[in-house]
Structure 1
Amino acid sequence: MKIVSNLNFNGQCREAFERYAEVLGGKLTLVTFRDMPGSQVPEEWKDKIAHVWLQAGDQALMGCDVPPAYAEKSGGFSMTLHLKTDDETRRLFAALAEGGQVTVPLTPMSWSSCFGMLTDRFGTPWMLTTQAAQNAA
C-alpha cells in the first residue's frame, strides 16, 4: 500500500506543482480538463489541472484544480517533509516559504535538531523536520 496526499487548488495547481517539482525534484504528469473527454467544466477551466502526479524518488504527491462549484475549504492537515540534514531542511524551508508565511521559524525541538512550519504562497501548510537516522520512521 502507498498513501498519497492530494492537494486541491482554485486554479493555481499547475503553478504550485511546477514549484513543488522545482523545490522537491521529481517528475510531473499533468492532465487538464481539456484532456478528459466529456469534462463538464466551463471553458475558462478547460486548461486547469484535473489531475497531477509528482513522483519524487519513491514518494508521490497528487493535486488538482477544483471547479468553484465543488470547492471546499481544506483544513486540519499539513504536508510534512522528514529530511536527513539540517542544511537540506533549511534549503527546502526557505524555498517553500518564498511568498508564503512562516508560522514557526526553524528551531531545534526535542525530536529534531531543525523543525519549522509555514504556509506556502499557494495556501498549502508545510512542516519540515530534520529526522535523525535513529528516529527515522
Structure 2
Amino acid sequence: MQLNPYLVYNGDCEAALKFYQNALGARIETMLLFEAAPADMPMPPDWKKKVMHAVITVDGEVLMASDAPPDRYRAPQGFSVALQVENPAEAERRFKALADGGAVTMPFGQTFFSRGFGMCTDRFGIPWMVNCPAET
C-alpha cells in the first residue's frame, strides 16, 4: 500500500510543479493535460492546457496534483505537507525556497523538538511544515 498527498490547485498546477522543481529539486514524472481527455468530456474551452493529473517525486517521495475546475476549487485547509530533512542547512534552504512569494506561519528555527522547524504557505496556497529532526 502507498499513501500519497494529492494537491489540488486553482488553475496554476503546472506553475506550482515547476516551482517545486526549483525549490525542492522535485522531478515531474507525469503531467497529463485536460486536452488529452476524450472529446465528450465536459470542460471549459480554456481549460485544455490545465493539469488533469500529475505526479512528482521529491527525494523519492510521491506527490500527486491537478487543477480543479473553477466551480470546484476550495482553498486548502486542515493539512500541511510535511518535509523531513536531515541536514539543518538544507532544511532551512528548502523552507526559504517554499516560503518565497508565500507566507511564513512560523519562521524556521531550532525548537525543543528539532534542530530546525518552520511552517509556511507557498505562493500557490499549499501549507508546508519543514522539519530537521533532533539528533537521537
Same structural fold, with TM-score higher than 0.5 when normalized by the shorter chain: yes
* CA deviation string 1:34-92 (max 9, x = no partner): 01214311111111000010023321101100001222333100011000111011110
Alignment gaps of 5+ in structure 1:
none
Q: Structure 1 runs of 4+ off > 6 angstroms?
A: none
Report the counterpart of residue 22 of structure 2 in structure 1.
22
Counterpart of 2:98 in structure 1 is 96
TM-score normalised by L of structure 2: 0.92
Match for residue 80 of structure 1? Answer: 82
- Which residue number corresponds to residue 11 of structure 2? 11
Aligned residues between the structures: 134
Q: Distance in 2 between matches of 1:17 and 1:127?
A: 18
Shift of 1:109: 1.4
Q: TM-score, length-normalised on structure 1?
A: 0.91
Query: Within the alignment, does 1:48 sit opposite 2:27 as a pair?
Result: no
Q: Which moved more, 1:91-100 or 1:125-134?
A: 125-134
Q: For residue 2 of structure 1, report the CA deviation from its aligned partner.
A: 1.4
For the residues of structure 1 that align with 2:98 and 2:91, how far apart are their CA atoms?
11
SS of 1:18's partner is: helix
Alpha-carbon distance in 2 for matches of 1:36, 1:82: 36
* Structure 1 counterpart of 2:98, one-letter code: L
**Distance (Å, rounded) in 1 between the aligned partners of 2:135 and 2:110:** 16
* Aligned-partner SS, 2:71: helix
CA distance in 2, matches of 1:124, 1:95: 13
Amino acid corresponding to residue 63 of structure 1 in structure 2:
A
Which amino acid in the other structure matches residue 88 of structure 1?
Answer: E
CA distance in 2, matches of 1:97, 1:57: 19
Displacement of 1:107 in angstroms is 1.8
Contact kept, 8 Å, 1:49 with 1:64, in 2: the verdict is: yes
Between the aligned partners of 1:109 and 1:69, the Cα distance in structure 2 is: 41
Shift of residue 133 of structure 1? 5.4
Segments of 5+ residues of structure 2 without an aligned counterpart are none
